[in-house]
Structures are given as C-alpha cells and as structure tokens.
Amino acid sequence: MKKISRFAIILICVLTINIISLNWSTNNQTVYATTIANSRYMSLISDRIDLYGGNVMIVEDNGTVTALGYGNDHGELDVNQWKDIVAISTGGNSTVGLKKDGTVVATGDNSEGQCNVSDWTDIVQVQTSYDNTVGLKKDGTVVFAGSNSYGQCNVSDWTDIVQVANAGHYTIGLKRDGTVIGTGKKDLQFGTFSIGNWKNIVQISSDGEYIVGLKENGTVVGTGKNAYSYGQLGIDEWTDIVGIEIGSKRTIGLKKDGTLIATNIQYEEPLDLRQYVNIVAVGPVCSWSYVFAIKSDGTVITNIDDKNIKNGLSGIKINSLNATLLTNDALKNKTLESFNAAYNEIEKLPNETIKEYLLAQLKTTGIVKVTTISLNKTTGSLIVGGTDTLIKSIAPLDATYRDVIWASSDNNIATVDNIGKVTAVSKGSATITVTTVDGRKLAKCNYTVTNFDSTVVIPPVVTKIDLTKVSNGSVMIGDKVFELSYANDPKNNNEITSIIISGGLIYIKDFLGNWIDNITGKIVESSTIKI
C-alpha cells in the first residue's frame, strides 16, 4: 500500500474537475484553489512509484510497469503486459494501475473483490490496500471495490473530493473547500481521529495509525497516535513544506528548497537525509528507514540497501519530468506563457503514452491553442499614398489568446497599423506579416508599391454630371464608386472631361480645363497632382 499521499494524481488529472478554474465567489477561494495545485506539483511523477513489503513498482515513461521484488504469491507482480499506465498503487497482495484513458486494471489477490475495477471509468486517482480499492472520479465522486467490514468504503455520497487516502480500515477524503472527511474504523487504541475542524488543507496522507494534512501556508497538522512513541506527529514546527509522505513510523516532508525533513531521524535506525537534494517529489516511505524520491534530473533516489531494487532503479529515469513540471505550472498559473512552455516541452517527448496524457491534462486549463492564421490575400499592389486593409482569420474560432503582431519588412515602402491597415509610402516592395502571440503562427502578404502614372487612362463609367441639378455627384472607376463634392457654377452645364487618381485622391477636369480637387472643390495646379 502506497502509504497514501503520493500527492495523488490530482495534480494534473483531477484538475479535470476544475479545482483551479472554479467560479468561486471570493478571491481567497481562488487563491486557495491555486495552492491546491501547487502543493501537489509532482503528483503525477510520484504516483509512478509505489512499494509494499519487499516489492517496488515503477511506471516507465512508455506506460509500462517495472516490478522489482520477490513476493509474487498472488500474482501481484504480474504487470509486464500492462500498457498506457500513468499511475500505480500496490497494497497487500494486489496491484492496481491507472490508465491514461481513466480506466483501471488490477492483478493479484481478489479474495475480497479488491480487484473488481474493470468497469471503472473517468478515474483520476487510485489507492489500494490489502482488502479494498478506492477510486477518485474526475467529477469529484468516489467509487470502491472490496471489503467494507469497517464501513471504510461508505463513500458513495461523497462529492467535491480532490484527493483520497486509503488506509485499509478507513478512507479519508480531501474536499475542494480544503476540509477533510473520513469513514471507517476509529480504533480507540489510536484515539479518535480529529479531522473535523481541519481547514485550508491541500494534501492528506495516512498510514492507518495517524493522519497528516498539509496546509496552504506550508505547515502540517496531524492527528492519531504517536504509535510506539516514534513521534510520527512531531510536525508542529515544520514550515515551507510543499509535499508530505508517511510510513508506519515516520513522517517525511518535502521542503520548497528541494530538501527533505523527517520525524524521528535518530530513532532505532538513523535516517540520513543528506543525499536528498534537488528533490521535486517524495515517493513511498517503507516503515521508518527507506525513502524513495525523484530528483530534478528525473532520477530515482533511495536509501534502500536491497541490491536487486537498487540495480533496477539505476537504469530508470523519468524523462517526462520537465514536461510534467511545466504542465503543473500551466494548470496553476493558467497563463499563455506557462501553457506554451508546457505544450512545447510535451511535444518533444518521444513516448506517446505520457505525451498524450499530459496534453489531455493541459486542456483542462481551459486554454484553446491557436493552430493557424491566414490573410484574405497573399499579394497586393498600391499606388503611393494608397491604403488597403488586410483581414486575418485565426483558427480555431474559440482560440483563447487571439492577439497578433503586425509588421512590415520595410516601413520606408509600406507601413501597417495594429488593425492591419497598410499604407503605401514609396515605390518598392514590402512584405506585411501578422504573427499570433500564441504559438507564433504567421501569415504574410507581399505588396508592390508604384508611383502614379499619368499616361495610364482610367476611363470612368460615368463621365457627365449635371451640376445644375446636384451639388454632389459620384463616379465609378473600375469597381469602386467615388463621391464627388466641389464648387460649381449653377448657370453652366459643367461637363467633366477627365478624371485621374493621384496619391489616393480624385481630381476632375471641368469644361474650362481646370483641375478640381473633389474634396475641397478648389482649383489646383496640374503640377500639384503630378500629371
């Protein structure tokens, strides 16, 4: 049995039930939800190692399970054919594995029905003991299989659960609001467990004789009996704790500086923690002497003296460590920067099991990533002074971050503003690009800018306007209609004889041969309009 805590797999997968993105009513609750994610920042990694007795189970990056040990009387080590596993739990004579699709497999002793989990779905955490198995679903409810002799499996009415701890004769649940509930045996030998008043808890752990809870401020609380005077609950002065793990006679705390702290370091078998540095997750604790942990380089470290197990661990490295850490950051912070950092690191993973699983958990941030961007044209032409507006299209339509950056390859030729309006400055060629902030997706349009050529005749469709009847008129050139407004002599039937375009403006020639600016209505010199 995994001595329960394992930071539960809810770091990543239980966030599917929105422990971060809850629309809670107060800012404090929102901050608290973030703390829950932060305190379990290595759960998916630490849940990949478990031990019971002399057996150690390790989930490899490829989703297979390596079993090290000697006791296989009930087939508890028969995990060689398992695939797509993301978390493991072993207890007594049985082993259960959580698959990336939320289903569960089991092997070993099934005398109490503890392996009857084949129909479970949408599971995000599993915990097995010697005679029962508990599963946390992504909707915050809990399912069970096996013995219920002490009422330890009376969990069918539980809701809003974000972590479970299976201690055999009782089950503990951490609720989304930071309180803790429990069911099952309360043996008077160890005293009544006082968890009803706990608040602001972000992680729980239990070993059957006592329960500890990590608070959002980095302190730890405990209840139960300091069995055999080992002082498992000597945790009152602990601070800066980000993870907890317990054995039957010792409590281990992971500090935010990557070191470990423990109760009863000098009792019976001294526990030397000096080798435990740069730790990112503390794994299972065997009784009072053996501690497993994962270092920041992905290697597994332990003080166990069994050569078979030590040799087996020496060749194992959790290469998905960095991707998992970054995924947690994205789940915690829910920013574009953290999302892209995790996404890019996950995409580098060679193995599809963990890769697909982390991508699926990344989606629970609610962030929809930009996949493509395009423009309404890829080429264009303008006369100096002319303008054009490019229209962007971003896919998918529900992408969360749709901000873009417009740029010109040569602002001396053409400029572009922050809405895609292009202005021709001088003769030449320039490329206008638009780049998404999310994912750096790019689209471009190549523009050719020319000067006005007076030798080019642009015949208007409308060539006459009766100025005695209208003070404003319009003329169509090509497929564009231009409005004309200018001073006129109502006594004369002025006839438009010529129209030219220069610098984006329209000039008309009246029957007297004067060039008139259609905006001001004033006569202009022909040299002004570069005829």
CATH code of 72's domain: 2.130.10.30
pLDDT at residue number 521:
63
- Would 80 be classed as within a structural domain? yes
Query: Could you give the CA distance from residue 345 to residue 367 in angstroms, rounded to a whole number?
Result: 17
- Would 46 be classed as within a structural domain? yes
Q: Do 351 and 437 fall into the same domain?
A: no
If you average pLDDT over residues 102-118, what whole number do you get? 95
If you average pLDDT over residues 34-39, what whole number do you get? 39
pLDDT at residue number 12:
31
- Would 8 be classed as within a structural domain? no
pLDDT at residue number 228:
45
Contact assessment for residue 436 and residue 372, using Cβ atoms and an 8 Å cutoff? no
- Would 3 be classed as within a structural domain? no
Domain limit, last residue, from 331, 365, 399: 365
Which range has highest mean pLDDT (228-242, 389-403, 486-500, 513-527)?
Answer: 389-403
Do β-strands 379-383 and 442-450 pair in parallel, antiparallel, or remain unpaired?
Answer: parallel
pLDDT band at 290 (very low <50, low <70, confident <90, very high): confident
pLDDT at residue number 456:
42
Q: Do 328 and 397 fall into the same domain?
A: no
Q: Do 66 and 175 fall into the same domain?
A: yes
Does residue 297 have a pLDDT over 60? yes
Of 272 and 109, which is predicted with more confidence? Answer: 109
Least confident of 4-8, 129-133, 390-394: 4-8
- Residue 268 is given by DSSP the state S
Domain count for the chain, please give it: 4
Query: Could you give the CA distance from residue 511 to residue 496 in angstroms, rounded to a whole number?
Result: 6
pLDDT at residue number 224:
76
Least confident of 150-164, 384-398, 485-499: 485-499
- Would 455 be classed as within a structural domain? no
pLDDT band at 239 (very low <50, low <70, confident <90, very high): very high
Least confident of 106-120, 221-235, 365-379, 387-401: 221-235
pLDDT at residue number 166:
87
pLDDT band at 225 (very low <50, low <70, confident <90, very high): low
Which range has highest mean pLDDT (415-419, 461-465, 495-499)?
Answer: 415-419
Which range has highest mean pLDDT (297-306, 380-389, 427-436)?
Answer: 427-436
Give the position of tokens 């730790």: 279
If you average pLDDT over residues 27-36, what whole number do you get? 36
pLDDT at residue number 420:
95
pLDDT at residue number 96:
96
Sequential DSSP letters for 8-69: TGGGTGGGGG-SSS---SSHHHHHHHHHHHHHTTTHHHHTTEEEETTEEEEE-TTS-EEEES
Least confident of 23-32, 289-298, 459-468, 521-530: 23-32
Query: Could you give the CA distance from residue 258 to residue 280 in angstroms, rounded to a whole number?
Result: 6
Q: Do 356 and 378 fall into the same domain?
A: no
Does residue 17 have a pLDDT over 90? no
Q: Helix, strand, or coil here: 334?
A: coil
If you average pLDDT over residues 43-56, what whole number do you get? 76
Does residue 196 have a pLDDT over 90? no
Q: Do 429 and 306 fall into the same domain?
A: no
Of 408 and 524, which is predicted with more confidence? Answer: 408
Q: Do 411 and 505 fall into the same domain?
A: no
pLDDT at residue number 513:
62
Q: Do 478 and 522 fall into the same domain?
A: yes
Contact assessment for residue 389 and residue 420, using Cβ atoms and an 8 Å cutoff? yes
pLDDT at residue number 72:
87
Q: Helix, strand, or coil here: 215?
A: strand
Q: Do 357 and 286 fall into the same domain?
A: no
Non-local CB neighbours of 311 within 8 Å, separated by 6+ positions? none
Q: Do 66 and 213 fall into the same domain?
A: yes
pLDDT band at 295 (very low <50, low <70, confident <90, very high): confident
pLDDT for 379-424, tens place per residue? Answer: 998 888 888 999 999 999 989 889 999 999 999 999 999 999 999 9
CATH number for the domain spanning 433: value is 2.60.40.1080
The residues facing 407 across adjacent strands are: 433
- Would 2 be classed as within a structural domain? no
- Which residue type does 276 have? Y
Q: Do 357 and 442 fall into the same domain?
A: no
Count Cβ atoms below 10 Å from residue 25 Cβ, excluding itself: 8
Percent of residues, the chain, with pLDDT higher than 90: 28
Percent of residues, the chain, with pLDDT higher than 70: 71
pLDDT for 63-81, tens place per residue? Answer: 899 888 877 889 999 999 9
Q: Do 485 and 446 fall into the same domain?
A: no
Q: Do 189 and 232 fall into the same domain?
A: yes
Of 205 and 231, which is predicted with more confidence? Answer: 205
- Would 12 be classed as within a structural domain? no
Contact assessment for residue 304 and residue 293, using Cβ atoms and an 8 Å cutoff? no
Does residue 115 have a pLDDT over 90? yes
- Residue 131 is given by DSSP the state S
The rounded mean pLDDT for the chain is 76
The answer to whether the predicted template modeling score (pTM) of the entire model surpasses 0.95 is no
If you average pLDDT over residues 210-239, what whole number do you get? 78
pLDDT at residue number 23:
27
If you average pLDDT over residues 296-324, what whole number do you get? 80
- Would 7 be classed as within a structural domain? no
Print the domain residue range for 61.
42-316
pLDDT band at 441 (very low <50, low <70, confident <90, very high): very high
pLDDT for 335-389, tens place per residue? Answer: 888 888 888 888 888 777 878 888 888 887 888 889 999 999 999 988 888 889 9
Query: Could you give the CA distance from residue 14 to residue 156 in angstroms, rounded to a whole number?
Result: 18
